[in-house]
Every structure is written in structure tokens, then in C-alpha cells.
Structure 1
């Protein structure tokens, strides 16, 4: 461990020495010792188009020579205006207003504050949010509050505001109970809104895929019914698309794939293709109008020093162009995952195989309790590195989430390596 660095999500006393990456190109990382690895998880899900893409690098370079940063309160600039216009145009109705920030957790915080103050500005006291079991929305306090109470937030539990949680209708290949499960969840939601709807500010969900909660997936049909229920009870629907946005689900956005328009949308991660920290929270004109007033207290008092940073805007604009170029790849990857996963479906140590767009996942049946602390994760990580693969399982959940530039041969290499690892581990770790 470096003597002056505090690493994220790491218990320094017991952790292995971090690997030093010296360079990267496309899906490949090169370590200090020359060892090369395929980045199977897009480096925490951000490198949508591959590492060091020249188009984004050039856009940042050109922008840096003209305007690198300016205060965004009382000022504006072309990159921010162009990005807002292009995002709104691509997202479609009802999205019309873009609020800039700098990371996924903050995009969620802004979304929560928008939803809460939307009601306050109309004289309604709505202070409760509905969220889903297994959710993860980030590590700031509001984001932790609407996330499942877990290892990540346990120390801070007394500081989190109360949230009502309902089950998440996760499904997988061959799940014959999906519709029944969804009906039960929707019934719970309707009951909560019927009894306490005048106190509920909004419903927050990771649409189609819960990320850090274990790549748990739900069907578009559930989100469509959820949208209808939220509308019928006059509450706001918030989509956390920090991970699922920008092609991850096989469409530009999960809301597009599901055919659902939430009231508030949180975006980050892939927005700059992994080059710079950046985020936006997008909302409808109706929500924006609730803040548009002569009364100062109706202002959304939130901002950051680097709000709408021109370099980040330039990277995001280049990323939107690349989204069009890579659209055939992210739309076709689901079928490729299906073909590769089919070779593992009968493995006795694998269950609940599932795919949504560019994301494939499976549960490993181990001798330990399922969950984030399952030690199979570290075993797989170490064995994968030796095979030239960067895999980072979520406990006993193994997933693949590669950049869109990955070649078919490289994707096959990932699955071949996973198959070999599962065979090697079966004797000692897997049932």
C-alpha cells in the first residue's frame, strides 16, 4: 500500500497490495510489470468506449486550450449549453432541464433534493421516500439513506433519514415466478401509496438492473406498471441511471428500453467515457417550474465548484458522438452474452444466470453464505488476474460488463477464463 493513499472500499490491514496500472488501450490494461489484462468490468462501469479513446482525449485537449473552468453561477458557456441541448433532445419528453454535478452519488442527492423541495415549494409536507431492498445509490448521506441498509452504510445508520423499503422483483433465466413476484411488489407499493401517499415525496429505483446490490435484474413490464402506479397516486418517480445509462442496458438509457419516462433521472459513470468525473440530474419542466419564483426560499440551493466544468462537458459531448458510433455494438452485446453464458448454464456451481444489454451476471453456489463478504470474490479476482482478466465479483455474484469496443474473440476469452476458474474452484469452494 502506498504510505500516503487511503484506498476506497479497502480494509488496508488485510488487503492485498494494489496492482499498479501503467497504461491502457481499448479493453486492455497494462501493469507495471508488463502483465496485460482485459478490463471485463469497464473499471467500475465507467469506460464505455474503451480506455484512452482518441476522440474524447482530443475533445478535452481542444477545450483545455480555450476554457478549462469558470464559475457556473451567473455565467454559462457553449459546452454546457450544447450538452444540455443534446441530452434533452436524446432523452425526449418530459425531460427538459439539466442540473450539472460531478459524480453519481451527488446526482442522486440532487434528485432527492429536487423531489423533496418540489413538494415543499407547493406547501406540501412530503418527507418520505420509497426505495427498494438491495438498492445502492451511492455513499453520501442522502444516497445511503435510499440505499439498502448494508455493510456500506451500517456505521452511519443513526444518521440516515427514514425510508420505506419494498422488495425488488429480481428475475433470471427460467424464472417462472416473475409475474407473481412483480404483482406482490406492486401490491405492497399500492398499499403504501394508498395509505401514506400524501407523505411520500417519491419512489427511487435503479431501472432494470441493481448494480452494486448484485446485478439483480427486473423486467421492463415491472417498470411500466410502477410508472402507472406512481402517476395514479401523484408521486414522483426517480430513476437512478448512474450505471444503466449510456448504452449499458442495450438501449441509450434504461428508461428507453423499458418504455418508461420518470420525473427525475440521475446520470453519471459512462457520461464522459471514463475520462473525467461528471454527472447530471435531469427533470421535467413541471418540476423546474415549481422552483421558478420570486421567493428566494424556493431556489434549489445546491452547487459545486466544478459544476458544468467545460472539460467534462467536452468529454461528454464527444461521448454522445461515440454512442452513435458504438450503437450497433451495445445493442448486439446481449445476444453475444446469451451465446457465451449458454455454455455455463448447466454448471452445478452456477445459478440465476441473467443478462440485460451489455451486462451479464450469475450467482455462484458456494459453501459460504451469499453476500458481499463471501470470500469466493477474492479467489476469483486473484485467479482472473493470472489469466489476464480484471474481474471484481460482488461477493458470490460474478458479472461481466465490458467496454463496447470489445471484440468477439476477447469476449470469448473472458468466458473461457471464467469457465476454467469455475472448474479449478469447484473442488474447494463451490458446491
Structure 2
């Protein structure tokens, strides 16, 4: 099913009517508003997505009778006068996506006619269930229509009305007006009027409708009908109602005007990250009105064939810089953040503890399942988390080997193309590149190994060895499946493994003995080096590099103790930067598990909070922690920031980890696993389970495309390298054409994507729907094959 765009039309002012409770008079309010519109010589329409109860009592029938010519429509009618989720049990239940699509299609059709104003009325209260049992507040969220909230004028109505408002606010709705009936006894309208006035939300109170006759004989029915006609005529002529309609019209116009201005204003005011502004124009800026699930709702990105809406669903193809795990606008995570904000706000962390930080540390260590880890250090983002990791690693190495870092240059070992962030310390842990070589303080400190790459070319998996290393490492290797590439139990006994280890050993020995270099840590991005260009390192090479470092401490110091077993570190402390690849991004709790390695230090961020809020953890062994313990304050790890371990982030992270762990166990990804398991059956021996949400068939098709140099996929990540006669690299423009094709998109949605030189990568969340991914694959095939 195609994703539904949010509703915003120039020619149609569409609103959704929610009630603070059941039986608060939503339909009466809707009828008043529609009458007022009709009396202004405009056309009104009323849509009831789901109606329950007798047809004669249906809300759309009421408005048809009293709405002064209002166009009415009901999409799904159930006979029983009960909640939709119960009434629907005896009928064919519409899928939520189908229901939303029908609403959007109906409104879009009306927008192309002479309809000026439309109301979409919900059933019951804000959290009354829809046909499939989920809250209406969540069900209708993708449409994100502006809200007309009908408050409750009865006893207890103040509480229920404010609660309804807060529930809508929590989900990102814009409540544009509140209406309720006057009740001179409870006087809820006075209290709520002041409450919503402070929120800059207009509240209109209406006269209570006439009471229904106790005996509904023919004469009583006639009198009731006459009374209702009179009521609607008088109520719809009230000046407050007419002013409200003018206000709603103005807000619709202002919303569009603001969206139209945003790109130009941003072009004038914003300094964008990772962006060369020379030649950049306002039209190059994506205007995002909201986001939900896997999609931005973007303005000015082109309308689909079936919609006149100003907003279009745009697939978030970079997972918002790799952060999205559980979807945009996730109500569970939003509620968790709101709870923590309400309970704590922010409290300082040094020398204190709160439940969310303690729970997260405990749950994270269990999820990482690393016997070396015993302590968790909190920071705010991946770069600062890596700064902490470097401080840890260098300190313990200098302490063990008796080095004085103030007098000696201590380097790190890593891989070419590494990237660990943009703060000065970790910037020095990467080789000179586009990211850092023009930064005045940059002083690259280390040695970075070139390495074999994993890729699919012409339908076959291969490990490609750099030409300059083939004499040492051997020639390229072909594999039957991606799982066989990760079959390290078998590959560690191969000649290739021995070649890798000898080359690594000899290189380090030469660097230390001949060039006098000292190394304080081995820092790796396990499996994939992200910002360096989505470089898929042969896992055997990373495993061999780790093994050589740990098994040969004598390489680094003549007074090094013999190699030690876990949990003690040996040779050099091993730091894994899992900011990008950790926590199910590649389909597993840790990317370290692909290598069969337990690092001494690991950094996690991005998916840690499901993409909602910044937070980072650096986990380390008790032995590393103890190195910083002394009577001197200056020996402590003097690192932190004001919002360390903020309660909102920790609370959200606990829920995010739990949700992803449950998905791992409950079969949510079994379909993807099955697809990739079929690929692995081609091998002669059992191989580790490695899978992707991107289909095996897609990879084979794309890898054979004329313009494609290679592809790979693992977990939620898909990488496509395009041929570039000028040479690959970050400054290449080879992927721009594909990026533009995806931005144009198809009838269902378009795609916002990022490129790294000649590489275009796409990334889903862990909750992406198979239907969305299939459409993405169709767009890719259309562009490349």
C-alpha cells in the first residue's frame, strides 16, 4: 500500500474533528460549522471515515439533513452502535492504510472541485479505537490534518478536554480551535477559554442544542426537527463562529505562505553541515513540514498524479543520517520522552544517579553481551563518545607501557577511510581526507591500513584486494553467499588468513622498529566504514588485525607483558566505533558479533534512542576504569557536558533497546531472513546468518547494471557504487544522476537520499514496511536497469 501524504490544499481548508470524549456533540459542532460555511456562499463537505450504529442515526445522515446543502460521505458503515473495533469484527475490516488512502483520495477529489471547506470527523474520543483496535490519534496521524477539538461541557469535562489536547499535542497535531457548548452550571467554557487562550488557541462556546423529546412520536419528531433547524440557523450566524472560520482560513493561508518562504529564509540564515554553499540555491533545500514512520512530508517536491496536496511523502533514504530505527513520530518514544521531561526535566549527573541512567547502563551491557565490559560512560553524541574512548585507550596504554604522552607522540592504528567524528581529538584518528585536511588543527596521528573490500559484482560476491596489496594478501576471492564471507570459523584456517596476519604483523613491526612509532589503541568501525564511503571491509581482515594486536603485545613495547586472556586487554586496547553499525543497524545487537570479537571499549549512539534524541554511551572494561582511579583528581577521566545522561534520552533509549530486542525475537524480520537464507543454501557448509531488508534479487539485478560498479547490502543498509571515469571518491559526482531520479520518485512517493562521492546509499529503519521497500526497489530498478 502506498504511503499517505499529509493533507494540505490551497483550495480546500480541511480539518479533522476530534472529541474530548464520546457524546460531546462532535456532529452538532460539525453541522454548525458546515452551515456557517454554506451561509458564507461557500461549499462545505463532511467526511465520516468510520460510522457505527443504525444508518438513520449516522452522523453523515444528520449533516445531510441539517447541513444546508453540505456534501456528505461515509467510507465504512457498521451496524452495531459500539466502538468501531468491536463493530468491525463481523465485517471485512479495512486496513489502516486503506482507510487513510481513502480519506486522502476523497479530500484530494474535493480539492479539485468547488468545495472550500471539509471536516473529517472521528468516532468517540481521541483515543477511541479505530477498526483495527489502535488509537484514532495514532491511526489518523499520517494525515496530520489541523484539528478542531470539541471539548466536554459536562462534569469532569475540563480534565478530559485538557487530556485530549495534550494527547494530540504529543503526537504532533496542530490544534487550531476548540469548541464546546455553554453550560451555566459547570461553566467549563470559562475555565477552558482561559486555558486555551494562553495557548493562543481560539475557543468558541456555542449555545446548547435543544433537548430531544422524551416521546418520539410523529409530532415530537417534527417539533424536534424544526427546533434543530432553528438552532443551526441561529448558531451558524453567531459572530464568534464566523470569526473562527475566517481564522481557520487565514491559518491555512499562513501555513502555505510559511512553507513557501522557508527555503529562501533558510538559504539566507542557515549554515548547513557537510555542505559546500557555493552554487547552492534555495530550490536545493528540502522543506519538511512533518515526518511520520519512514517518510518526511515535504513541500514543493512535486505532486503525485493522484493528489493535489501541497505535501508529498518522501522516503527518508538516509534514515536521517543513520539515526532512525523505530520511525519518525513514534508515539511510544514520544510518550517516554514526555514522561522523563515531566518527571525530571534535566538533572545534573556528576555524583548523582537517576533511574533511567541506571536502567540504560544495565540493559545496554546485557544487550552488548561482552564479558569485558563493566562500566558505561555517558556523552551526547558519537563524536564525543569516541573522544572519551580515545582518552581511555591512550591512557591505559601509556600507563602499561610507561609512556609520557606529553613528551612522546602516541598514535592509533586504524583503517583507511575511517571517520569517527568532527571533534578535534577523533579527527586526528583518521587519515588526511576531505573531512579534515583543511582543518587548521588537524594533525593525523596514526597508521591506517588499506584493506580488501566486500562487494557484489555481476551477481557474484567477491572480496576485492587492492592492487598494491595483492603481492602480500593474494588475489581477489569469489564467494557463493554473503554468509560465507562471514564464515570466519572456516576462513581463519585459510591461507588468506595467514597472509593477512603476516602482512599486518610485519607492517606494525616495521612502523615501530624502523620508524619509531608508538601506538596507544586500535580503533575500528566494524564491518562498514560509513562516512568514508560505505566501505565494506572484509571481516576476516578486521578479525586478523584484532588478533595480531592482541596476540603480539611485544610488537608495541619491549617491556610488554605476555598476551592476556579476556577480560584483560592485551597488546593495545581495542576500540570499536559502533555509532553507525551497532544496535541492529546491520541486523544484530552488535556489529562486533560479525567478527567474533569482544572489544575493550565500544561506542554506541544513533539507534540507541531510536532516532528521537541525541545520546551516546562508551562502554569499557573494569580494568580500563581502574586505570583512572588514584588519589589525584587530575588522574580521573575529566570529561563531560552539562546534559550528561539526560533523563529523556536514557528513558527513550531503554524503550528503544527493548523494542528492537523484541523485534529480533518475535519474527518481525523472518521474511527478510528467509530470503537471504535461500542465498546461503548455495554453499556447501552451514554459514552464519547474515541478512538484509533489501532483497537478494535486487542486489543481483543492480550489480549487473551497466552504470553500476558494485553493490552490497546488510541489515538495513544498501550501498550502490557507480562507475566514474574520473575516479571514485568523496568529490565524485557520479551518483548525482541516481539521486535526482530518486528525488523525482514515482506516483507513490519520492526519495530523499545522500551520496558519498560515487556511492549512493539507502537505509531503512528497522520498522520499515515491506511494501515501502518493494516500491523503493522498483524505483531503483527503473533508474539503473
TM over 0.5: yes
Q: Residue in 1 aligned with 2:708?
A: 350
**Secondary structure in 1 matching 2:425:** helix
The one of 601, 605, 608 aligned to 1:268: 605
Larger RCO: Structure 1 or Structure 2 (Cα < 8 Å, ≥ 6 residues apart)?
1
Identify the range of structure 1 (72-81 vs 179-188) with the bigger mean alpha-carbon deviation. Answer: 179-188
Of residues 404-413 and 377-386 in structure 1, the stretch that sits farther from structure 2 once superposed is 377-386
CA distance in 1, matches of 2:740, 2:576: 35
What's 2:344 paired with? 67
In structure 1, the residue corresponding to 2:754 is in which secondary structure?
coil
Larger deviation, residues 223-232 vs 233-242? 223-232
Unaligned segments of structure 2, at least 5 residues: 1-263, 300-309, 466-472, 476-495, 554-570, 674-690
Greater CA drift, 201-210 or 407-416: 407-416
The answer as to whether partners of 1:217 and 1:356 remain within 8 angstroms in 2 is no
Distance 1:180 1:322 in 2: 44
Structure 1 residues 23-422: aligned runs within 5 Å: 23-32=290-299, 33-92=310-369, 93-122=371-400, 123-125=402-404, 127-156=410-439, 159-173=442-456, 174-175=461-462, 177=464, 180=474, 186-195=501-510, 196=512, 199-232=518-551, 233=553, 234-327=571-664, 328-329=667-668, 332=673, 334=692, 336-387=694-745, 388-422=750-784
Separation in structure 2 between the aligned mates of residue 378 and residue 347 of structure 1, nearest angstrom: 17
Distance 1:274 1:16 in 2: 28
Moved more, 192-201 or 275-284: 192-201
Q: Structure 1 residues 268-277 or 176-185, which shifts more?
A: 176-185
| Larger CA deviation: 219-228 vs 279-288 | 219-228
SS in 2 for 1:68: coil
Aligned-residue RMSD, C-alpha: 2.1
Q: Does structure 1 retain, via aligned residues, the 8 Å contact 2:585–2:766?
A: no
TM-score between both structures, scaled by the size of structure 1:
0.92
Q: Is the 8 A contact 2:604 2:618 kept in 1?
A: yes
State the 1:176 CA deviation: 5.2
Q: Structure 1 residues 340 and 177, CA, compared in 2 at 3 Å: closer, same or farther?
A: closer
CA contact (8 A) 2:397 2:572 kept: no
Larger C-alpha radius of gyration, 1 or 2?
2
Task: Kindly indicate whether the alpha-carbon contact (under 8 Å) linking 2:712 and 2:719 is maintained by their aligned counterparts in 1.
Answer: yes
Query: 1: distance between equivalents of 2:502 and 2:713?
Result: 26
8 Å CA contact 1:206, 1:240 repeated in 2: yes
| Alignment-derived partner of residue 428 in structure 1 | none
Match of 1:393, SS state, is strand
Question: Is the 1:166–1:188 Cα contact (8 Å) retained in structure 2?
Answer: no
SS in 2 for 1:202: strand
- The whole-number CA distance in structure 1 between the counterparts of 2:648 and 2:630 is 32
Partner of 1:427 in structure 2? none
Secondary structure of 1:271's aligned partner = helix
CA positional deviation for 1:29: 1.1
2-side partners of 1:367 and 1:192: how far apart?
A: 32
Secondary structure in 2 matching 1:65: helix
Q: How many residues align?
A: 423
Output the CA distance in 2 between the equivalents of 1:376 and 1:120.
Answer: 45
Is contact 1:272–1:315 with CA below 8 Å preserved after alignment?
Answer: yes
Distance 1:131 1:227, change over 3 A: closer
Deviations 1:332-374 (A, max 9, x none): 3516432322222211111222222221212111343211222
Is 161-170 or 200-209 further displaced after alignment? 161-170
Tell me, yes or no, if the aligned pair for 1:227 and 1:237 is still in contact at 8 Å: yes
Shift of 1:157: 5.9
Using the TM superposition, give the Cα deviation of residue 185 of structure 1 relative to its aligned residue in structure 2, in angstroms.
5.2
Residue by residue over 1:206-250, the C-alpha shift from the partner in whole angstroms, topping out at 9 and shown as x without a partner, is 100010111111233333322221211211111110100110112
Q: 1:403 and 1:159 mapped to 2: Cα distance?
A: 34
Q: Name the SS of the counterpart of 1:289 in structure 2.
A: helix
List runs of 5+ in structure 1 lacking aligned partners: 424-431
Q: Give TM-score, length-normalised by structure 2.
A: 0.52
Partner of 2:278: 13
Deviates more, 1:392-401 or 1:216-225: 216-225
